[in-house]
Amino acid sequence: YRAKAAGGGVQRYHAALSEEAQRRSELERSLSDVLERGELWLAYQPVVELASGQAVGCEALLRWQSPVHGAVSPAQFIPIAEERGFIREIGAWVLREACGRAAQWQREGLELRVAVNVSAVQLRDPHFARDVAATLRAAGLPPASLELEVTETAVMADLPGAIAQLSQVRALGVSVALDDFGTGYASLELVRELPLDKLKLDRSFVTGAERDRRRQVIVASTIRMAGDLGLQVVAEGVETTQQQDMLLALGCPLAQGYLYARPLCPEDLLNLLARTLRRGA
């Protein structure tokens, strides 16, 4: 009886595995021509200056609305796109789309810096910085209006290469942020070695920090270290006014999170900014 039950478990396990594998291969197939089918779009989440409550920038976040799979999370499809080599084209599209959007906003009188997430595969391309320069030129966007977000994983895949590319993009006037700061194995090494303008303190330190002294100390120390090094800090994943008040008290300059806005389509972002979070409003 026992053996039978265990066997059933193993069978269910295999069934679940192959279901997972099948979904993955279906996603892979759909991703191969996702750009041609026009199923990707960018959502934008405002970055707020805590002291004034005004939006000073936004982060572009990739969205895939598939007629077959529904809305697929970037956390799920980006790793697949990286593995299958689709991320180069997708990443280039994200950059073009975000720069084009920010340039359009500027022409309409809205000064909003846009941050774009960059994958390891893009950073490993020795022409990355040159392509960024070309994209900015084509969009007519001043380099100072673009920020690139890199994660520790993306950078550690080839640290010297990443340093070279990021130095070049910074020489253009583009700023560089280290995303999900504090979650990797080499956070301090990267602060020491990387050409950087900003740290994005990971949501996992912000969540529950009002109630957890350890997290609070880490948040406070990161803010102080960043200030001493002349780096900006953004607190990610701010969801409550208690978290906001704690960050304000600790002198954190910038924040991002559902408390202010979820990632929004361009039209909804403009509507929100017209009502609130607006510079000079």
In angstroms, give the least distance from the CB of 236 to Mg ion.
5
In angstroms, give the least distance from the CB of 258 to ligand C2E.
4
Q: Which of 60, 250 has the CB closer to ligand C2E?
A: 60
Binding site for ligand C2E (CB under 6 A): 45, 61-62, 73-75, 78, 94, 117-119, 149, 179-180, 203, 237-239, 256-258, 263
Q: Which of 94, 129 has the CB closer to ligand C2E?
A: 94
Q: Are 196 and 206 a contacting pair, CB within 8 Å?
A: no
In angstroms, give the least distance from the CB of 274 to ligand C2E.
21
Which of the choices Mg ion, ligand C2E, none does residue 94 contact, using the CB cut-off of 5 to 8 A by kind?
A: ligand C2E
In angstroms, give the least distance from the CB of 24 to ligand C2E.
17
Q: Which residue is nearest to ligand C2E (CB)?
A: 257
Q: Are 13 and 33 a contacting pair, CB within 8 Å?
A: no
Q: Which of 13, 258 has the CB closer to ligand C2E?
A: 258
CB atoms within 10 A of CB 86: 20
Q: Which of 81, 250 has the CB closer to ligand C2E?
A: 81
Pairing of strands 40-49, 175-181: unpaired
Q: Which among 146, 172, 150 has a CA at the least distance from the CA of 161?
A: 150
In angstroms, give the least distance from the CB of 5 to ligand C2E.
38
Q: Which among 72, 38, 44, 94 has a CA at the least distance from the CA of 268?
A: 44
Which of the choices Mg ion, ligand C2E, none does residue 244 contact, using the CB cut-off of 5 to 8 A by kind?
A: none
> Apex CA 265: angle with CA 90 and CA 88, to 5°?
5
Binding site for Mg ion (CB under 5 A): 117, 149, 179-180, 236
Partners of 117 in the beta sheet? 149
In angstroms, give the least distance from the CB of 270 to ligand C2E.
19
Q: Are 252 and 221 a contacting pair, CB within 8 Å?
A: no
DSSP letter, residue 37: T
Which of the choices ligand C2E, Mg ion, none does residue 131 contact, using the CB cut-off of 5 to 8 A by kind?
A: none
Which of the choices Mg ion, ligand C2E, none does residue 152 contact, using the CB cut-off of 5 to 8 A by kind?
A: none
Calpha distance 25→38 (Å, rounded): 20
Q: Which of 34, 62 has the CB closer to ligand C2E?
A: 62
216 alpha carbon, distance to own chain's centre? 23
Q: Which of 117, 165 has the CB closer to ligand C2E?
A: 117
Q: Classify 234 in phi/psi space as left (phi over 0), alpha (psi -120 to 50) or beta.
A: beta
In angstroms, give the least distance from the CB of 187 to Mg ion.
13
Q: Which among 104, 75, 94 has a CA at the least distance from the CA of 34?
A: 94
Q: Which of 30, 122 has the CB closer to ligand C2E?
A: 122
- The alpha carbon dihedral of 196, 181, 57, 266 has a sign of positive
- Name residue, tokens 């080499």: 186
